[in-house]
């Protein structure tokens, strides 16, 4: 989120023009303009004019709503404003009129803004930032309050630096379930690899290809689904998003099982550990277990030296079909061992992590 600031400086300038007339244009005080307000006809008294909404750091090609208001003293008789690149006279971006304002173009100031009618308490205008590579820009505003021949002048200069945006993230990859997988449970978790530069993800999901947006702000690398229709092909896609833009991953698909285990009412007859999938994997792997009677289940991952890496289940009260998942992000590539202990039986399976 961009920070906004204002600077209000009341000064007296000795130039010859009479500024407060609504017909006067080109007096913002920017380099190359006709100058600022004249104290030969006005410039006395007390008053404060504030400008807000001009960013300290701008995003190229973005639009900002800028407000000008009299905080003290009388209403604003008139003002001229323009935005220039660096310390020079080149116009930076585009000003468009808003509430109570109008734009003007004169030879000294081709994209300026002023009050549409004099004597306003406040007004707004919009500024669309220039293209990338412009660098620092300055907003110049010269305002006059009170009667045409008296009242204070306020000169304002605000500085905005060009924001440095990150590159868009790499596209999501390595889906679980694997694309084209079949027999996927009716309640399942979608997993994917995401670039560390990702701020959040958008998940698209449905029976149509391409799928529709399901959730536009997913902070993790997974999304849990429940009560899916049986024997149905679903399509899904993930967009990785950061301040630099959004990057779509491929469209993946899977087909659900014919019916859920609860509907089938088929219970396992012995403890078993299904083949891990995918295997090799990167970085997510899933393992299905069958537990015939309610029993404590312990599942641990060891590296090839026998060192404990992580515990997936620790005396979990398990029964029926159980699914374990391991995200190996942050671990070294290579061979690992899954050891499952349940009901007095121990089953070991090799896992190969290939990031």
Instruction: Cite the DSSP H helix spans in the chain.
Output: 261-264
- Look at residue 230 and tell me whether its pLDDT is greater than 80: yes
Which residues are CB-neighbours of 23 under 8 A, at least 6 positions away?
none
Higher pLDDT, 103 or 164: 103
Q: How far is CA 298 from CA 312, 316, 347, 352, in A?
A: 7, 6, 11, 21
**pTM value?**
0.53
Higher pLDDT, 259 or 123: 123
> In the predicted model, what is the mean pLDDT of residues 289-302?
89
Residue 19 confidence class, pLDDT cut points 50, 70, 90:
very low
Listed residue (1, 2, 41, 34) closest to 18, CA to CA = 41
Per the CB < 8 A criterion, the answer to whether 118 and 9 are in contact is: no
Q: What per-residue confidence (pLDDT) applies to 189? A: 86
Q: Which domains does the chain have, with CATH numbers?
A: 9-162 (2.60.40.4060), 173-256 (2.60.40.10), 267-353 (2.60.40.1930)
Residue 9 confidence class, pLDDT cut points 50, 70, 90:
very low
Integer Cα distance of 176 and 277 in angstroms: 9
Residue 268 confidence class, pLDDT cut points 50, 70, 90:
low
> In the predicted model, what is the mean pLDDT of residues 142-164?
88
Q: Exposed (0-12), middle (13-18) or buried (19+): which is 4, by Cβ within 10 Å?
A: middle
Q: What's the pLDDT tens digit per position in 28-54? A: 999 999 887 544 445 566 789 999 999
């Amino acid at each position: 989120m961009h920070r906004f600031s204002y600077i209000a400086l009341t000064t007296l300038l000795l130039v010859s023009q009479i500024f407060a007339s609504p017909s006067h244009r080109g007096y913002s005080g920017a380099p190359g303009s006709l100058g600022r307000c004249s104290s030969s006809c006005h410039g006395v008294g007390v008053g404060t004019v504030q400008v807000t909404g001009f960013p300290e750091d701008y995003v190229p090609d973005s639009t900002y709503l800028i407000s000008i208001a009299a905080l003290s003293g009388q209403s604003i008789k008139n003002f001229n404003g323009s935005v220039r690149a660096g310390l020079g006279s080149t116009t930076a971006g585009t000003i468009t009129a808003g509430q109570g304002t109008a734009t003007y173009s004169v030879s000294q100031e081709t994209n300026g803004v002023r009050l549409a009618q004099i004597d306003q308490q406040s007004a707004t205008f919009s500024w669309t930032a220039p293209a990338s590579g412009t660098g620092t820009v300055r907003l110049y505003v010269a305002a006059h309050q009170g009667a045409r021949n008296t009242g204070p002048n306020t000169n304002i200069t605000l500085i905005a630096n060009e924001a440095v945006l990150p590159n868009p993230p790499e596209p999501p990859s390595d889906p679980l379930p694997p694309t084209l997988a079949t027999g996927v449970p009716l309640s399942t978790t979608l997993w994917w690899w995401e670039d560390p530069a990702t701020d959040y993800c958008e998940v698209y999901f449905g029976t149509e290809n391409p799928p529709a947006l399901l959730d536009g702000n997913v902070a993790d690398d997974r999304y849990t689904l429940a009560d899916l229709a049986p024997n149905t092909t679903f399509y899904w896609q993930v967009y990785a998003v950061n301040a630099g833009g959004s990057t779509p991953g491929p469209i993946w698909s899977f087909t659900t099982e014919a019916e859920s285990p609860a509907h089938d009412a088929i219970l396992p007859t012995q403890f078993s550990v299904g083949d891990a999938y995918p295997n090799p994997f990167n970085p997510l792997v899933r393992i299905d277990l069958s537990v015939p009677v309610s029993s404590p289940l312990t599942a641990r991952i060891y590296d090839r030296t026998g060192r404990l890496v992580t515990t997936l289940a620790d005396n979990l009260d398990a029964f029926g079909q159980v699914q374990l998942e391991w995200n190996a992000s942050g671990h070294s590539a290579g061979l690992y061992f899954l050891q499952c202990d349940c009901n007095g039986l121990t089953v070991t399976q090799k896992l190969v992590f290939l990031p």
